[in-house]
Amino acid sequence: MGQPYHIRSFCSIQQETILLNGKPVFKSEQEDFDAFAKEAYKFIDIKYPKFFKMDHLSKLAFLTANLVLDKENITPDEPSNTALVFANSASSLDTDRKHQESIQNKDNYFPSPAIFVYTLPNICLGEISIKYKLYTENSFFIFDSFQPQKLIAYTKGLLDSKKAENVLCGWVEFDGKTYKSFLYLVSAKGTLEHTEETILKLYNA
Amino acid sequence: MEELKQELKAKIIDQLNLEDINVEDINDNDPLFGDGLGLDSIDALELIVMLDKDYGIKLTDPKEGRAIFESIDVMAKYISEYRSK
Amino acid sequence: MDQGVAITGMGIISAIGNNVAENYASLIHEKKGISRIQKIDTIHRDEIMVGEIPVSNDEFIAQLGLPQDNNYSRTGMLGVLAAQEALKDARIENIDAYRTGLVSATSVGGMDMTEKYYYDYFTNAECQKYIIAHHAGDSTQKIADHLGINNQLVTTISTACSSAANAIMLGARLIKSGKLDRVLVGGSDCLSKFTINGFKTLMILSDTYNTPFDEHRKGLNLGEAAAFLVLESDHVVKAENKNVLAYVKGYGNANDAYHQTASSENGEGATLAMQQALKVAGLNPKDIDYINAHGTATGNNDLSEGRAFINVFGDKVPDFSSTKAYTGHTLAAAGAIEAVYSVLALQNNIIFPNLNFKTPMKEFNLIPQTKAKQKELKHVLSNSLGFGGNCSTLIFSKNA
């Protein structure tokens, strides 16, 4: 079985509501995601203007990760061996559609480089790594639905082999009107058990 | 030319998602890249698309862009000379 | 120092061949697969060159014996063909004899069909079958279904150009940890207007043959391909008396933490990934005999990767070459096809040339191998550096 690991903090964002460690920290009336994200950004007081260049998936991942990492005092100023292991079902589909629209019309053909760079699901990992200076391992899986067991196995592997001290893992999904993020930080020490049961409970809360 | 400069400032803010920056905040001869507005390589490419889309100027070499996008002044001068829209 | 993980089979389809033997023949005869695009109707056809596989979708359907009403994307078909060859090469007849998994990689997924039929979906019911094939997991599932791999882990990794390398890395870890007895690992990506248009707007596509590590390089050629390796545990190798082609000896993944798509000037991410791979392999830099570089021939990558070589190897950078001048940059499949080429290099003690090279880059004194070179090879290092700063390195060894 090996050493047991624990969840230190977790955050979820869906339906314009942010929960940090199970407690609501922010709620907005804005149904438009960009407007919601801007309000949340200001509320959390992030101070990172590049945020506004990100696509929806990256904004969602960034906000969620920011809350967890800040809560756990993981900052860009001190090197931290925090790996990132995310998954979703829709990949980068939300932005893919925008790119596709921009190349569809031969007469009004102006694809945007700033949109194209986000047509990969793992760019959001890059954005988080850039801000927090994480030169660590990162991986992005595509599943049909949230499957904690697979993330647990990968995470344990990283921690057991001491490839990472912490692993930020979870689910970040953005598809048109629906979005949900659920990220949790796993380490040797923490308050909750790193088990499928616990993770699913937190995910569904 | 003044109108074009204002237009460019507004477009840059909008196109490049520069939050919390207003037209008044951008001086005509501020460096746009590097320390100035802190634009990066993707922003430069977006500006190349903008030159084509809004002013009919096609650049084929991305390196040309850095010289043209040095500041609002330089950009406006270049555009007024070469625009076809 | 850990034992390497045995590779017992390989399969590949690319612009330079429809199987391992054809790819190898092209490599040693300097036969590149780059040309003007034939099969996709794009407005950029005269401005770019690509590594296109000269086989149509209809021919693939016939080759695979698929029913006419199938909903395979080209990505899926390429994947199945390569995976099939790998299983055959590994002499696997009963897939269920051991716990067998599949880790596949893609970035395009079923986009080739989606972009073709997107606007017809509302009016033409016949093409709606491709909707579900768009999902990145679909090509993986097609491979799993076709080959009967469904009892254990079947999963998809999508981390841009390092995807397949990460699939191989995960596969090796799954074997080492005893979670699987064997695993099929690799990736598949086909050409699509989506990627062609996207890369065009980033202005990193060359209008001629790509020239990795050359001072006058103009950018990359996109390519399409699929490749898979079969990794098996020592227990299975022994029990089945398998012929081992090579070993996955080391692997590393690190984030460059610099920019969404550009690599850092000093190649931090690539440096860290290579160092990590050496550590896992228990090797020193001087043990590497050949590097199959990521070498996409963009201004940014080759500079960054070159600097990373110097960071890791100092003034003793091993013989290196990029095989992308042959195949183009095959995106998510690159890590896998280059893994196949690394194993071929080890098996045949040959370093493949970096085609089209003329002028060394002014920033450093790194000259790739320009002619095929016979050399005793024990350890080969392969880099795959992806957008999102996702840098992966694999080390393949002749012995465990």
Q: Which of C161, C190, C379, C391 is an active site residue? A: C161
The arithmetic mean of pLDDT across residues C233-248, rounded, is 97
Whether C5-239 and C248-397 share one fold: the answer is yes
Looking at residue C2, its pLDDT comes to 64
Looking at residue C225, its pLDDT comes to 98
In total, chain C counts a number of residues equal to: 400
**Tokens of residue C398, six digits:** 């002749």
pLDDT at A1 over 60: no
- Tell me which chains share at least 3 CB pairs under 8 Å with chain B: A, C
pLDDT at C193 over 80: yes
pLDDT at C198 over 60: yes
Q: For residue C248, which of C129, C184, C168 has the smallest C-alpha distance?
A: C168
Q: How far is CA A12 from the centre of its chain?
A: 9
Longest CA pairwise span in chain B (Å): 32
State yes or no: is C294 an active-site residue: yes
**Cβ pair C109:A91 closer than 8 A:** yes
| Highest CATH level, class, for C248-397 | alpha beta
- In this complex, is the C-beta atom of A11 within 8 Å of any C-beta atom belonging to chain C? no
**Tokens of residue B76, six digits:** 């406006």
d(CA C287, CA C381): 10
State yes or no: is C127 an active-site residue: no
CB pairs under 8 A between B and C: 12
Q: Which residues of C touch A127 (CB under 8 A)?
A: 260
Chain B residue whose CA is closest to C47: B60
**Cβ pair A133:C257 closer than 8 A:** yes
Taking only the tens place, the pLDDT of each residue in C61-90 is 999 999 999 999 999 999 999 999 999 999
Taking only the tens place, the pLDDT of each residue in C344-382 is 999 999 999 999 999 999 999 999 999 999 999 999 999
Measure Cα distances from B24 to A38, A52, B28, C109 in Å: 22, 20, 10, 46
The alpha-helical segments, DSSP class H, found in B1-85 are 2-15, 41-55, 62-68, 72-82
Q: Kind of pairing, strands A166-175 and A138-142?
A: unpaired
* Residue C344: how many other CB atoms lie within 10 Å: 22
**Cβ pair B40:C259 closer than 8 A:** yes
- In this complex, is the C-beta atom of B59 within 8 Å of any C-beta atom belonging to chain A? no
Contact indicator for C333, C317 with CB cutoff of 8 Å: no
Q: How confident is the model at residue C1 (pLDDT cuts 50, 70, 90)?
A: very low
Q: Which residues of B touch A111 (CB under 8 A)?
A: 49
Chain A residues whose C-beta is within 8 A of a chain B C-beta are 38, 49, 51-53, 110-114, 117
Secondary structure element (H or E) that encloses residue C73, with its range: none
Q: Which residues of A touch C258 (CB under 8 A)?
A: 130
Chain A residue whose CA is closest to B56: A110
Contact indicator for C387, A117 with CB cutoff of 8 Å: yes
Taking only the tens place, the pLDDT of each residue in C139-180 is 999 999 999 998 889 999 999 999 999 999 999 999 999 999
Cβ neighbours of residue B14 under 8 Å, at least 6 residues apart? none
Q: How confident is the model at residue A205 (pLDDT cuts 50, 70, 90)?
A: confident
Q: Kind of pairing, strands A6-14 and A17-20?
A: antiparallel
**Tokens of residue C84, six digits:** 């099939």
Cα torsion angle, C35, C40, C46, C50, sign: negative
Contact indicator for B29, B71 with CB cutoff of 8 Å: yes
d(CA C201, CA C210): 18
A117 vs C118, C203, C261: nearest CB: C261
Coil, strand or helix at A192: strand
d(CA A36, CA A28): 6
pLDDT at C131 over 70: yes
**Cβ pair C259:B45 closer than 8 A:** no
Contact indicator for C32, C16 with CB cutoff of 8 Å: yes
- In this complex, is the C-beta atom of A125 within 8 Å of any C-beta atom belonging to chain C? yes
Q: Which CATH superfamily is domain C5-239 in?
A: Thiolase/Chalcone synthase (3.40.47.10)
d(CA A199, CA A185): 11
d(CA A9, CA A18): 14
Task: For Cα atoms B22, B24, B25, give the angle at the middle one, nearest 5 degrees.
Answer: 70
Chain B residue whose CA is closest to A109: B53
**Range C187-197 burial, b when 16+ CB lie within 10 A, else e:** bbbbbbbbbbb
The arithmetic mean of pLDDT across residues C206-218, rounded, is 97
* Residue A178: how many other CB atoms lie within 10 Å: 11
Task: Please state, rounded to an integer, the average pLDDT across all residues of chain C.
Answer: 96
**Cβ pair A111:B49 closer than 8 A:** yes
Cα torsion angle, C228, C233, C238, C239, sign: negative
- What are A14's strand-pairing partners? A17, A180
CB pairs under 8 A between A and B: 29
pLDDT at A10 over 60: yes
What domains lie within chain A, and their CATH numbers?
Answer: 6-204 (3.40.47.10)
- Tell me which chains share at least 3 CB pairs under 8 Å with chain A: B, C
φ, ψ (nearest 5 deg) of residue C61 = -60, -45
* Residue A104: how many other CB atoms lie within 10 Å: 15
Looking at residue C174, its pLDDT comes to 95
d(CA A136, CA A147): 23
**Tokens of residue C3, six digits:** 């034992």
State yes or no: is C391 an active-site residue: no
Show which of residues 82-101 on chain A sit within 8 Å of chain C, judged by CB atoms.
Answer: 84, 89, 91, 96, 99-100
Coil, strand or helix at A115: helix
Q: Which residues of B touch C262 (CB under 8 A)?
A: 41
- In this complex, is the C-beta atom of B45 within 8 Å of any C-beta atom belonging to chain C? yes
* Chain A closest-CA separation from residue C158 CA (Å): 6
pLDDT at C186 over 80: yes
The arithmetic mean of pLDDT across residues B46-74, rounded, is 91
What domains lie within chain B, and their CATH numbers?
Answer: 2-82 (1.10.1200.10)
Q: List chain C domain ranges.
A: 5-239, 248-397
Q: Which residues of A touch B42 (CB under 8 A)?
A: 53, 113-114, 117
Secondary structure element (H or E) that encloses residue A168, with its range: strand A166-175
pLDDT at C211 over 60: yes
Q: For residue C105, which of C394, C400, C325 has the smallest C-alpha distance?
A: C394
Q: Which of C134, C146, C190, C329 is an active site residue? A: C329
Rg of chain A on CA atoms, in Å: 17
Q: Which residues of B touch A110 (CB under 8 A)?
A: 49, 52-53
d(CA C398, CA C400): 7
Q: Which residues of C touch B41 (CB under 8 A)?
A: 259, 262
φ, ψ (nearest 5 deg) of residue C298 = -85, 155
Show which of residues 18-37 on chain B sit within 8 Å of chain A, judged by CB atoms.
Answer: 18-20
φ, ψ (nearest 5 deg) of residue A179 = -145, 150
Q: Which one of C43, C48, C197, C203 makes the best mutation probe of the B interface by having the most chain B beta carbons within 10 Å?
A: C203
Looking at residue A146, its pLDDT comes to 96
Contact indicator for A186, A194 with CB cutoff of 8 Å: yes
* Residue A205: how many other CB atoms lie within 10 Å: 10
Q: In a 10 Å sphere around its CB, with 0-12 CB exposed, 13-18 middle and 19+ buried, how is residue C88 labelled?
A: middle
Contact indicator for C87, C230 with CB cutoff of 8 Å: yes
% of residues, chain C, pLDDT over 90? 95
d(CA B85, CA B53): 9
Contact indicator for C392, C253 with CB cutoff of 8 Å: yes
Contact indicator for C216, C358 with CB cutoff of 8 Å: yes
% of residues, chain A, pLDDT over 90? 90
DSSP state of B25: G
Strand segments, DSSP code E, in A44-120 are: 82-88
The arithmetic mean of pLDDT across residues C272-291, rounded, is 97
Looking at residue C177, its pLDDT comes to 93
Cβ neighbours of residue A189 under 8 Å, at least 6 residues apart? A6, A8
